[in-house]
């Protein structure tokens, strides 16, 4: 082999080795399948004990084990709507949407007045972007129990995602009246509006800021107003004429925020 060819072989080998090292660091490793981590349910355990153990396992994210315990409890208490609902929630957390939908429907069939099951079935439709179907289920939940801020919040999210903004505002306002902190809880893992564009994201933030301002909750209003500015809300000038912001405009922090020229976050 000539010196030139030998150098070429070494160069190609070195380049391939370097490429292999780079690609190795960017490989995706498949997580191991979910496995059962504890002993199976005891045959002599009561339905209540089995359900409570299922709750603990679900809280620890041991979902397959939780399902085992919920089903064992269901064998002792057939057609229990609450157990069907808990099974559905666990399946939803595992992203087994088809199975979760069936479980929530079984919960409703077992108890037509079980508001949580209607709401959770609405979440299934919402996650599949069937917003109209989700709205119907949320409204059924509210018809049974109109005291839940979460139901109205979920309804608002569905309306906002289907761009029915006036209906969304009405639902969100009702949610806030029931629980002024409902959006904070939602941001930590609940249902949020599925917003297809930065423009819709900015409009959502401005809408929430307006609702908080109307309720006199300055801190929350300023926070969402800042988010709207960062998202590049195009009608921000309306903050100086919308009546909901009348009191907020007297707040020195409002003046400071407006003067900050918060940069727009690009996507």
What confidence tens digit (pLDDT) does each residue in 166-210 have?
999 999 999 999 998 888 765 444 455 566 578 888 898 999 999
Q: How far apart (Å, rounded) are the C-alpha atoms in residues 220 and 225?
A: 9
Q: How far apart (Å, rounded) are the C-alpha atoms in residues 191 and 236?
A: 26
The pair of structure tokens assigned to 261 is 């020229």
Are 119 and 83 spatial neighbours (Cβ–Cβ below 8 Å)?
no
Highest mean pLDDT among 108-117, 190-199, 209-218, 251-260: 108-117
Radius of gyration for the alpha carbons in the chain, expressed in angstroms and rounded: 26
**For 70-97, what is each residue's pLDDT tens digit?**
999 999 999 999 999 999 999 999 999 9
Are 212 and 176 spatial neighbours (Cβ–Cβ below 8 Å)?
yes
Q: Which run of H or E residues covers position 113?
A: none
Per-residue confidence (pLDDT) for residue 260, from 0 to 100: 86
Q: Which run of H or E residues covers position 207?
A: helix 198-214
The pair of structure tokens assigned to 118 is 């209607």
173-189 core/surface letters (b: 16 or more CB in 10 A; e: else): bbbbebbbebbeebeee
Closest by Cα among 57, 45, 87, 56 to 70: 87
- Over 50: is that where the pLDDT of 23 sits? no
Across 108-116, average pLDDT: 97
- Over 70: is that where the pLDDT of 32 sits? no
Q: How far apart (Å, rounded) are the C-alpha atoms in residues 199 and 196?
A: 8
Per-residue confidence (pLDDT) for residue 89, from 0 to 100: 95
């Amino acid at each position: 082999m000539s010196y030139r060819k030998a150098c070429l072989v070494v160069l190609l080998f070195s380049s391939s080795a370097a490429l292999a090292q780079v690609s190795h660091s960017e490989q995706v490793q498949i997580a191991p399948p979910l496995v059962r981590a504890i002993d199976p349910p005891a045959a002599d355990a009561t339905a209540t004990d089995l359900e409570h153990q299922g709750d603990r396992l679900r809280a620890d994210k041991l979902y397959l084990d939780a399902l085992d315990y919920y089903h064992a409890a269901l064998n002792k208490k057939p057609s229990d709507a609450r157990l069907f609902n808990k099974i559905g929630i666990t399946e939803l957390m595992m992203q087994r949407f088809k199975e979760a939908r069936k479980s929530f429907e079984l919960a409703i069939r077992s108890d037509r007045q079980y508001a949580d099951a209607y709401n959770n079935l609405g979440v299934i439709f919402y996650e599949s972007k069937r917003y109209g179907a989700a709205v119907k289920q949320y409204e059924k939940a509210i018809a049974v129990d109109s005291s839940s801020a979460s139901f109205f919040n979920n309804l608002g999210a569905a309306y906002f995602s289907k761009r029915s903004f006036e209906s969304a505002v009405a639902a969100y306002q009702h949610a806030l009246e029931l629980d002024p902190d409902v959006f904070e809880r939602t941001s930590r893992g609940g249902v949020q509006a599925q917003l297809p564009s930065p423009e819709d994201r900015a409009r959502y933030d401005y809408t929430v800021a307006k609702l908080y301002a109307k309720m006199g909750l300055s801190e929350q209003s300023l926070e969402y107003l800042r988010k709207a500015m960062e998202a590049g809300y195009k009608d921000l000038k309306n903050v100086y004429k919308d009546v909901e912001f009348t009191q907020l405009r007297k707040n020195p922090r409002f003046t400071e925020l407006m003067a900050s020229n918060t940069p727009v976050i690009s996507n």
